[in-house]
């Protein structure tokens, strides 16, 4: 029997009989694989993800893939979806099968069934899945001629699978079988069903075949799975917590914002308290940007279509844009703020002495998102970005990026978010010279290193027009949210012929940085709501103090107290309703107001207020002056800049 040379990640090698399964090869070098052999999920052979049962037939490099990697989790969860499908096949004869991919934190499978699944159905399916897992049946891969597979699935009435095969142009397709269930699948899969140590079906929802509402509505069952029970428990606890913090629910409870069918999907109505919260965030941003040498600008919401053609948006982004026509002239409604900023730059002749220029705009943009992906404030069709464009010389690039990173770090720290950074480098399809890419990527890298930031590299994941840094913040329950980005751009300065006169008197091309710190204000407020579970810190709370009167005899005193607090710069709401004080307190507590000032006959007589704090409850009575002093200590206006 011939032997092959298998190379492990630590560059050690082994001579193994040809045909050795990849999993077996990895087990011979446990130390070289992540985790123990039991936790191996798949193998990467010469860069390609494969089953642990795949025979190795040539010299190769091999690496173990465990649950600790995104690919490993995907294989694990996707295998779980096959088990779900097998259970549905067993329990619902006549069900037809569409697709069952892994998703961010679990998996789903789409089924065509006569009537929607009920919660009782999900319980039965879970029970059947547990049996399938207990039986520990192997996943077996086989190949079939495409046409044979097509007629086989058609013959079984599996029209969705047949449609999927029709789109495949390879002569053969792969099939995976576990127990009595066979599925068209590229793989790879776990070795056997018993590897799934913990799983849970989470929900069921209608979903159109291929996401197209002209197609038939299928039933999508969502679930998740883990290699151990503790991890599942932690996850379930977290989604429970996430449900409680859902910004759509809290937004309604705190009366921050709403959506209305009559207005249109994905279009936010900001109610007074939500608008105030937004104002506080935006004011904070304006001050911070001015303090860091940015200049505020504004551009129009609609710009001529020709300009969008010139920028490349018309060719590359048109389907996400809205257009309108005025006086027989076509206009594009802006999905981005860059163009006006460049036109402002071009309104003067610029010298190297003018640079860098940092144009900041709280720019409202419209982007057409499919109705299926709209979600509360996080995915909307109109939103405002804290957008800035820095136009600088190539020599200034690194310093400018360092400034942006420092800015982001300060702001994240102020809101209490930890964050991670990723540098995305040149993709295969890209424009610009090697020198430009090297300069920009080098500048991003140096700025990251110089700022002492740890960062991951996404090789080849940059935009086609330049490399970028993505910043993901972590909220109170450990979820990541993409907010800030810093992006270098070579194309737009070229397309808009931006120039500056260099020290040698020659016109030169500046570099442009697109950057946002919070990103979409709508989305960031959603993150704030969920992070704080609606209990905003004092400086962000739209209502900082609720003034509550015990009887109507204190109404006048209540108004006076509220006026004094407002005059001291605090945001106050009076509750002079003829309701029991216990009821008013409970309501203010539910509204998560940081301070309550409770006024009865004694407080009025003594010119004092009984103070309750959101976290501590009753903290005794204070004179009005003392109370204002206490509020002032909370810091009404936050700033991270050094004065
Ligand atoms: Zn599969
Ligand atoms: Zn831009």
Counting ligands in written order, the one closest to the CA of 386 is 2
Phi and psi of 556, rounded to 5°?
-65, -45
Query: By CB neighbour count within 10 A (0-12 exposed, 13-18 middle, 19+ buried), where does 69 fall?
Result: middle
Catalytic choice (183, 386, 387, 575):
387
pLDDT band at 143 (very low <50, low <70, confident <90, very high): very high
CA of 352 relative to ligand 2 center, distance in Å: 21
pLDDT one-digit tens code per residue, 351-373: 999 999 999 999 999 999 988 89
CA of 186 relative to ligand 1 center, distance in Å: 6
Active site residue 385: yes
Write down the pLDDT at residue 643.
39
**Token pair belonging to 483:** 């907010």
CA of 182 relative to ligand 1 center, distance in Å: 10
Q: What is the DSSP string of 156-175?
A: TT-HHHHHHHHT--SSEEEE
Which spans in 416-498 are helix H? 434-450, 491-495
For the segment 618-627, the average pLDDT, to the nearest whole number, is 96
CA of 434 relative to ligand 2 center, distance in Å: 22
Cα–Cα distance for residue pair 505/482, rounded to 1 Å: 42
Counting ligands in written order, the one closest to the CA of 185 is 1
- Least Cα distance to 79 among 210, 223, 220 occurs for 223
CA of 336 relative to ligand 2 center, distance in Å: 6
For the segment 391-403, the average pLDDT, to the nearest whole number, is 95
For 32-46, 78-92, 433-447, which range has the lowest pLDDT when averaged over its residues? 32-46
Counting ligands in written order, the one closest to the CA of 79 is 1
Write down the pLDDT at residue 642.
43
pLDDT at 194 over 90: yes
pLDDT one-digit tens code per residue, 161-177: 999 999 999 999 999 99
The Cα-based distances of 282 to 234, 412, 415, 479 in angstroms read 36, 15, 14, 24
pLDDT at 31 over 60: no
pLDDT at 637 over 50: yes
pLDDT band at 219 (very low <50, low <70, confident <90, very high): very high
Active site residue 346: no
For 290-299, 369-378, 539-548, 619-628, which range has the lowest pLDDT when averaged over its residues? 369-378
CA of 515 relative to ligand 2 center, distance in Å: 7
The count of C-alpha atoms lying within 13 angstroms of the C-alpha of 566, restricted to the half-sphere facing its C-beta, is 11
Catalytic choice (51, 73, 96, 338):
338
Cα dihedral value 264, 267, 269, 273, nearest 10: 160
The Cα-based distances of 277 to 243, 281, 569 in angstroms read 22, 6, 15
Instruction: Kindly report whether the peptide bond that precedes residue 555 is cis, defined as omega within 30 degrees of 0.
Output: no
pLDDT band at 580 (very low <50, low <70, confident <90, very high): very high
Counting ligands in written order, the one closest to the CA of 337 is 2
Active site residue 514: yes
Active site residue 338: yes
For the segment 566-582, the average pLDDT, to the nearest whole number, is 95
Write down the pLDDT at residue 10.
87
pLDDT band at 94 (very low <50, low <70, confident <90, very high): very high
For the segment 126-136, the average pLDDT, to the nearest whole number, is 97
pTM: 0.80
- Least Cα distance to 188 among 123, 139, 124, 227 occurs for 139
Counting ligands in written order, the one closest to the CA of 109 is 1
CA of 487 relative to ligand 2 center, distance in Å: 8
Cα–Cα distance for residue pair 34/37, rounded to 1 Å: 8
Active site residue 570: no
**Token pair belonging to 17:** 């009989």
CA of 82 relative to ligand 1 center, distance in Å: 6
CA of 514 relative to ligand 2 center, distance in Å: 5
CA of 500 relative to ligand 2 center, distance in Å: 19
The whole-chain average pLDDT of the chain stands at: 93
Catalytic choice (468, 571, 584, 612):
468
Write down the pLDDT at residue 38.
55
Active site residue 78: no
Write down the pLDDT at residue 32.
46
Write down the pLDDT at residue 487.
95
For 473-487, 507-521, 538-552, which range has the lowest pLDDT when averaged over its residues? 473-487
Q: Who contacts 212 (Cβ-Cβ below 8 Å, separation ≥6)?
A: none
Active site residue 367: yes
């Amino acid at each position: 029997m011939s032997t092959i040379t298998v190379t492990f990640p630590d560059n050690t090698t082994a001579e193994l009989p040809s045909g050795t399964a990849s999993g077996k090869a990895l087990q011979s070098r446990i130390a070289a694989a992540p985790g123990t052999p039991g936790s191996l999920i798949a193998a990467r052979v010469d860069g390609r993800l494969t089953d642990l049962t795949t025979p190795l037939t040539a010299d190769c490099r091999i690496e173990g893939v465990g649950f600790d990697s995104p690919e490993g989790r995907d294989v694990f969860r996707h295998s779980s979806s096959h088990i779900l499908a097998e259970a549905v096949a067993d329990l619902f004869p006549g069900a037809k099968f569409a697709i069952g991919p892994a998703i961010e934190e679990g998996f789903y499978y789409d089924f065509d069934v006569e009537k929607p699944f009920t919660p009782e159905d999900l319980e039965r399916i879970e029970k059947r899945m547990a049996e399938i897992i207990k039986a520990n049946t192997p996943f077996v891969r086989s190949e079939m001629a495409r046409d044979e597979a097509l007629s086989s699935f058609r013959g079984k009435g599996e029209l969705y699978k047949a449609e999927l095969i029709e789109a495949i142009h390879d002569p053969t397709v792969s099939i995976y079988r576990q127990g009595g269930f066979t599925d068209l699948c590229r793989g790879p899969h776990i070795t056997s069903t018993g590897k799934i140590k913990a799983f849970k079906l989470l929900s069921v929802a209608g979903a159109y075949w291929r996401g197209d509402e002209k197609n038939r509505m299928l039933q999508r069952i969502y679930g998740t799975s883990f290699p151990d029970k503790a991890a599942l428990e932690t996850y379930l606890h977290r989604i429970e917590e996430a449900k409680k913090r859902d910004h759509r629910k809290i937004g309604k409870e705190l009366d921050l914002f709403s959506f209305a069918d009559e207005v249109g999907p994905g279009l936010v109505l900001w109610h007074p308290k939500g608008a105030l919260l937004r104002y506080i965030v935006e004011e904070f941003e304006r001050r911070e940007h001015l303090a860091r040498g940015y200049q505020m600008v504004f551009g129009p919401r609609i710009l001529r279509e020709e300009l969008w053609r010139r920028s490349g948006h018309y060719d590359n982004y048109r389907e996400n844009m809205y257009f309108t026509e005025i006086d027989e002239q076509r206009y594009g409604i802006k999905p981005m703020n860059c163009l006006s900023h460049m036109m402002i730059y071009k309104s003067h002749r610029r010298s190297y002495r003018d640079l860098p220029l940092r144009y900041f705009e709280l720019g409202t943009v419209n982007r057409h998102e499919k109705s299926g992906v709209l979600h509360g404030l996080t995915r909307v069709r109109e939103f405002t970005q804290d957008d800035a464009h820095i136009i600088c010389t190539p020599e200034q690039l690194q310093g400018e990026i360092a400034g942006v990173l420092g800015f982001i770090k300060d702001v994240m720290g102020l809101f209490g978010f930890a964050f991670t950074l990723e540098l995305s480098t040149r993709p295969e399809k890209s424009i610009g010279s090697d020198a430009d890419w090297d300069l920009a990527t080098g500048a991003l890298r140096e700025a990251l290193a110089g700022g002492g930031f740890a960062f991951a590299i996404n090789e080849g994941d940059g935009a086609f027009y330049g490399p970028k840094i993505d910043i993901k913040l972590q909220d109170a329950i450990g979820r990541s949210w993409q907010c800030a980005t810093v992006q270098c751009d070579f194309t737009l300065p070229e397309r808009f012929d931006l120039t500056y006169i260099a020290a040698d008197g020659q016109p030169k091309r500046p570099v442009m940085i697109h950057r946002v710190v919070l990103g979409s204000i709508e989305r960031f407020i959603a993150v704030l709501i969920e992070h704080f579970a609606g209990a905003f810190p004092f400086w962000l709370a739209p209502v900082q103090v609720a003034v509550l009167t015990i009887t109507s005899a204190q109404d006048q005193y209540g108004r006076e107290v509220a006026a004094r607090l407002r005059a001291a710069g605090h945001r106050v709401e009076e509750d002079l309703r003829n309701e029991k004080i216990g009821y008013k307190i409970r309501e203010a507590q539910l509204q998560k107001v940081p301070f309550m000032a409770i006024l009865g006959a004694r407080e009025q007589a003594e010119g004092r207020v009984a103070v309750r704090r959101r976290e501590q409850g009753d903290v005794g009575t204070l004179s009005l002056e003392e109370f204002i002093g206490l509020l002032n200590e909370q810091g009404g206006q936050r700033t991270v800049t050094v004065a």
